[in-house]
């Protein structure tokens, strides 16, 4: 058995339960490691902020069921949006406290970490007891960024082949806005992950509807989880995700269109149950989601101009403009696989969150990367495909340079 495993590794392929870790997967893993390395570099030059303390304190209160004042869900007040970000920020710290309290039972009295077994430990006290509190606070969001990159790679590789996957992941891993959001407690990176997963899972459900019903259920469950992540990150994004999913599923589910709306209603209802669970099934705390202005959206071109006019996004801007030009100029690029990310990216890029702070342009970024990858992958197959490959490598390299230049203290 061990010799067989070594032979697989030596042959350049490692297959485990149907997963093959060959050259394309290694390239993708290398790009994600570069994303992680940039994140760790930035994290090493950060200090704990008031925002970090607020997310850590209030997230821990949600897990430990310890509201500081009667009538309030947390010391941050009644959270009306982005509850999942608070929970993820507080989870590693709550787990650490529980672990140390259990471990103290096996330590001598003078070696115990926690002063008492039941006294609450503040985030400030943890700062002096833990050597990596800032890193632990950021790990869930860094993990979300890596998962989003992995999902983007998986989708674009299946749609556009290895070359398309490389282009999409290359632009993603050298995106300063995503890097910044992966290194601070915030709901934006979670919304981007949930939205991208929801759209392509909805497309997968619509395709599965052409087959037996037993193949629907796992994808519907996955769609419900994706909608739940969106709802618990930015409630305003949920109706947008459901609406776009409805249009795309009606487009695909020929002969099964009558089932699309019930499936989406069931998934949306399941997402609301998951959101209710994030509020510890407290009706009063949950009601603030609907009693606030968190769901308000508007339309504006100003965020688009700022986002794509920034020097740090120069390579992505050039790639997006070139992809739009090729999409319009070449008939072979106009099909469902390319049109879907273009339409979703356009809708999200024009949105602004009126009730609460938000970054729909960041939610749109994975779709922009997917659209660029799809159009360039089509260009690779043209008679002058090498010119397209050189152009794709140039824009990805340009974006990497701009991204590295934006890292403090690196150059």
381 φ/ψ angles, rounded to the nearest 5 degrees = -90, 0
- Angstrom distance (rounded) from CA 154 to CA 146: 12
- Return the closest-CA partner of residue 218 out of 228, 208, 231, 229: 208
Whether 209 contacts 164, CB under 8 Å: no
Whether 103 contacts 109, CB under 8 Å: no
pLDDT of the residue at 4: 41
**Domain annotation covers residue 1:** no
How many C-beta atoms lie closer than 10 Å to residue 176's C-beta? 21
**Domain annotation covers residue 263:** yes
**Domain annotation covers residue 178:** yes
Q: What are 48's two structure tokens?
A: 């704990």
The pTM for the full model equals 0.89
Which among 81, 105, 135 is the end of a domain?
A: 135
**Domain annotation covers residue 221:** yes
Condensed to tens digits (0 to 9), the pLDDT of residues 252-305 reads: 988 888 899 999 999 999 999 999 999 989 888 888 888 888 888 899 999 899
79 with 182, same domain: the answer is no
Question: Per residue of the chain (411 residues), what is the pLDDT tens digit?
Answer: 333 433 333 334 444 445 566 788 899 999 999 999 998 888 888 888 888 888 988 888 888 876 656 677 888 888 888 999 999 998 888 887 777 777 666 766 655 666 554 555 555 556 555 557 778 888 999 999 999 999 999 999 999 999 999 999 999 999 999 998 988 899 999 999 999 999 999 999 999 888 887 788 889 999 999 999 999 999 999 999 999 999 999 999 888 888 999 999 999 999 999 999 999 898 888 888 888 888 888 999 998 999 998 888 999 999 999 999 999 988 888 889 999 999 999 999 999 998 888 899 999 999 999 999 999 999 888 887 788 889 889 999 999 999 988 877 555
257 with 326, same domain: the answer is yes
- Angstrom distance (rounded) from CA 189 to CA 178: 7
310 with 379, same domain: the answer is yes
**Domain annotation covers residue 14:** no
67 with 145, same domain: the answer is no
How many C-beta atoms lie closer than 10 Å to residue 66's C-beta? 11
What's the structural domain count of the chain? 2
Q: What is the dihedral of CA 35, 40, 41, 43, to 10 degrees?
A: 130
225 with 112, same domain: the answer is no
pLDDT of the residue at 31: 94
Q: DSSP assignment of 173-238, as one string?
A: HT-HHHHHHTTS--SHHHHHHHHHHHHHHHHHHHHHTTS-GGGHHHHHHHHHHHHHHHHHH-TTHH
196 with 181, same domain: the answer is yes
Q: What are 22's two structure tokens?
A: 């060959």
Whether 139 contacts 327, CB under 8 Å: no
32 with 58, same domain: the answer is no
Domain with 117, as residue range(s), is 54-135
pLDDT of the residue at 161: 92
250 with 110, same domain: the answer is no
Which among 135, 150, 169 is the end of a domain?
A: 135
């Amino acid at each position: 058995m061990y010799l067989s495993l070594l032979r697989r590794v030596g042959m350049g392929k490692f297959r485990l339960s149907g997963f093959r870790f060959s050259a394309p997967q290694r390239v993708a893993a290398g790009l994600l490691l570069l994303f992680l390395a940039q994140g760790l570099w930035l994290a090493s030059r950060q200090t704990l902020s008031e925002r970090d303390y607020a997310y850590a304190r209030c997230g821990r209160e949600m897990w430990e069921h310890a509201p500081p004042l009667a009538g309030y869900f947390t010391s941050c007040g009644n959270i009306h949006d982005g509850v999942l970000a608070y929970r993820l920020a507080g989870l590693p710290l709550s787990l650490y406290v529980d672990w140390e309290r259990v471990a103290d039972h096996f330590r001598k009295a003078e070696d115990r970490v926690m002063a008492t077994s039941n006294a609450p430990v503040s985030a400030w006290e943890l700062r002096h007891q833990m050597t990596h509190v800032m890193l632990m606070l950021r790990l869930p969001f860094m993990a979300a960024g890596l998962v989003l990159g992995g999902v983007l790679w998986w989708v674009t590789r299946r749609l556009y082949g290895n070359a398309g996957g490389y282009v999409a992941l290359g632009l993603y891993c050298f995106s300063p806005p995503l890097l910044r959001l992966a290194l601070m407690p915030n709901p934006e990176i979670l919304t981007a992950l949930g939205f991208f997963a929801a759209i392509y899972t909805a497309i997968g459900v619509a395709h599965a509807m052409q087959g037996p019903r037993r193949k629907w259920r796992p994808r519907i469950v996955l769609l419900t989880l994706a909608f739940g992540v969106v709802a618990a990150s930015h409630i305003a994004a949920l109706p947008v995700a459901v609406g776009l999913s409805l249009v795309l599923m009606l487009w695909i589910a020929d002969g099964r269109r009558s089932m699309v709306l019930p499936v989406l209603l069931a998934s949306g209802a399941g997402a609301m149950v998951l959101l209710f669970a994030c509020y510890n099934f407290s009706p009063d705390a949950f009601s603030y989601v609907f009693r606030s202005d968190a769901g308000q959206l508007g339309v504006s071109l100003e965020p688009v101009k700022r986002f794509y006019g920034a020097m740090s996004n120069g390579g992505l801007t050039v790639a997006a403009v070139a992809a739009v030009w090729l999409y319009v100029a070449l008939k072979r690029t106009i099909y469902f696989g390319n049109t879907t990310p273009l339409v979703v990216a356009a809708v999200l890029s024009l949105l602004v969150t009126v009730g609460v702070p938000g970054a729909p342009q960041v939610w749109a970024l994975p779709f922009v990367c997917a659209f660029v990858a799809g159009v360039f992958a089509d260009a690779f197959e043209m008679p002058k495909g090498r010119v397209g490959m050189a152009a794709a490598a140039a824009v990805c390299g340009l974006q990497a340079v701009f991204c590295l230049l934006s890292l403090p203290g690196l150059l």
